[in-house]
Amino acid sequence: MSTKDLKFNSKTIHGGQAPDKAYGAVMPPIYQTSTYAQSTPGGHQGFEYSRSGNPTRAALESALASIENGNYGLAFASGLSAMDAVIKLLNPGDEVVSTNDLYGGSYRLFKQIFEKYGIAFHFVGMENIAAIEEKINDKTKLIWVETPTNPMMNVIDLKAVSALAKAHNLLLAVDNTFASPYLQRPLDLGADIVMHSATKFLGGHSDVVVGALVVKDKELADQLYFIQNASGAVCGPMDSFLTLRGIKTLHVRMQRHCENGEAVANYLKNHPKIEKVYWPGFEDHPNHDVAKSQMDGFGGMISFIPKGSSFEEAIKIVEKLKVFTLAESLGGVESLAGHPASMTHASIPKAEREKSGVVDSLIRLSVGIEDADDLIADLEQAIG
């Protein structure tokens, strides 16, 4: 039986994996080597230099391909370096239509690095498909979607965007970091490229910074591999090992993230001092129906605005939290709280960020897998 035929909860453990060839090690050894002995120039056993390929990274890359239902995986030194490789498929003069609400670092990479090289980016609210189409012209080459979005938790209809991309012969790349493949598999919905900050749910333990790309198409995989090898931002062997270990428990962690997320979201929604809670599991979330049809659950990422709250009030709340740690990042076993306006999204100009709802009083939670009662008690003492 090929591991391709396994169900998701088995793929996380076995997908694309086989015991190591040397001694049958069940977990791939950490091949902490930069180079490989050759018997004659080119006479090697599949690996020649660890930027071009490393057995521990190769094991991670085939696990990534398996859980995203793709054929080829590529592991990078960070999520942003994975995105960097995708944009390097383009040429000066090309244009990209991107989600308007997205990770601040992604926005910074597009605006402050790639615009200098003559690539133009349009940021639109992609809940409205017509708004995407308006920005497409004959220079457009790529649609970049983040869903659910960071931090406003908008959900974008991937089948609809994919139909649009195909009609205009554009590449569709999806940042699947917030959902993880446990909840959403964009390649099955028509995307060409799926990208991850594997730093988050895939790694799951806040101990690595890693990025990933997965594709189905061989030619696209070859182009991305060429860029990865030529630019060099590869995932190291130790980080590959840790990410692979994280993936093996993705399904059990995600199940608890979803349960705890629901409990915390409902607690906040019913709290008299909370103005607004953003979580796609609510029936009155504007994109709830899309979320229900393309995701297998709603996850543990939640944003909220305290009633009448200001920048200072929001800071006071996040400072008071004790079980939630005030920190950048998300998707680890431990619960984290963040203040997007001053932390993860500070690199987006205030006027721009407020257009998509990232106001100064917004707080973002990554609900971990602790006991939900402790998380709710912590929020209760901080909100007051």
Please indicate whether residue 103 is annotated as part of the active site: yes
Q: How far is CA 232 from CA 60, 82, 111, 203, 235, in A?
A: 17, 11, 22, 21, 9
Burial of 233 (0-12, 13-18, 19+ CB in 10 A): middle
* Min CB(213)–ligand P1T separation in Å: 12
Q: Nearer to ligand P1T by C-beta: 82 or 220?
A: 82
DSSP state of 35: B
State the number of binding residues for ligand P1T (CB under 6 A): 20
Q: Taking a C-beta distance cutoff of 8 angstroms, is the pair 151, 178 a contact?
A: no
Q: Which segment (10-18, 136-144, 223-231, 327-335) binds ligand P1T by CB under 6 A?
A: 327-335
Tell me: does residue 105 bind ligand P1T (CB under 6 A): yes
Listed residue (116, 157, 124, 156) closest to 140, CA to CA: 124
Taking CB under 6 A as the criterion, the residue among 84, 101, 175, 378 binding ligand P1T is 175
Q: Nearer to ligand P1T by C-beta: 336 or 383?
A: 336
Q: Nearer to ligand P1T by C-beta: 60 or 209?
A: 209
84, 101, 157, 175: the active-site residue: 175
* Min CB(323)–ligand P1T separation in Å: 18
* Min CB(308)–ligand P1T separation in Å: 26
Enclosing H/E stretch for 265 = helix 250-269
Distance CA 344, CA 106 (A): 10
Taking CB under 6 A as the criterion, the residue among 328, 371, 373, 380 binding ligand P1T is 328
* Min CB(203)–ligand P1T separation in Å: 9
* Min CB(177)–ligand P1T separation in Å: 4
* Min CB(3)–ligand P1T separation in Å: 26
Taking CB under 6 A as the criterion, the residue among 50, 140, 150, 180 binding ligand P1T is 150
Name 123's bridge partners: 98
Please indicate whether residue 51 is annotated as part of the active site: yes
Question: Residue 106 is which amino acid?
Answer: S
Tell me: does residue 68 bind ligand P1T (CB under 6 A): no
Find all residues with CB under 8 Å of 367, minimum gap 6, and list them.
257, 260, 261, 264, 300, 301, 302, 335, 375
CA 249 to the chain's CA centroid: 17
Q: Nearer to ligand P1T by C-beta: 102 or 171?
A: 102
Tell me: does residue 329 bind ligand P1T (CB under 6 A): yes
Q: Are strands 171-175 and 140-146 parallel, antiparallel or unpaired?
A: parallel
Residue ranges in 270-310 assigned as alpha helix (H): 288-294
Q: Which of residues 191-230 bind ligand P1T (CB under 6 A)?
A: 197, 199, 209, 211
**Rounded (5°) CA angle 347-358-143:** 70
For the chain, helix, strand, coil in percent to 5 are 40, 15, 45
Name 365's bridge partners: 302, 337
Q: Nearer to ligand P1T by C-beta: 70 or 331?
A: 331
Q: Nearer to ligand P1T by C-beta: 17 or 114?
A: 114
Residue window 24-63: x/- pattern of binding to ligand P1T, with contact defined by CB under 6 A: ----------------------------------------
Tell me: does residue 106 bind ligand P1T (CB under 6 A): yes
51, 245, 248, 292: the active-site residue: 51
Q: Which segment (124-132, 158-166, 310-318, 325-333) binds ligand P1T by CB under 6 A?
A: 325-333
3-state SS, residue 371: coil
3-state SS, residue 181: coil
Taking CB under 6 A as the criterion, the residue among 147, 344, 356, 361 binding ligand P1T is 344
307: tokens are 């009633």
3-state SS, residue 185: coil
Please indicate whether residue 378 is annotated as part of the active site: no
182: tokens are 């446990």
* Min CB(208)–ligand P1T separation in Å: 9
Which residues here bind ligand P1T, judged by CB under 6 A? 78-80, 103, 105-106, 146, 150, 175, 177-178, 197, 199, 209, 211, 328-330, 338, 344
Residues designated catalytic: 51, 103, 175, 200
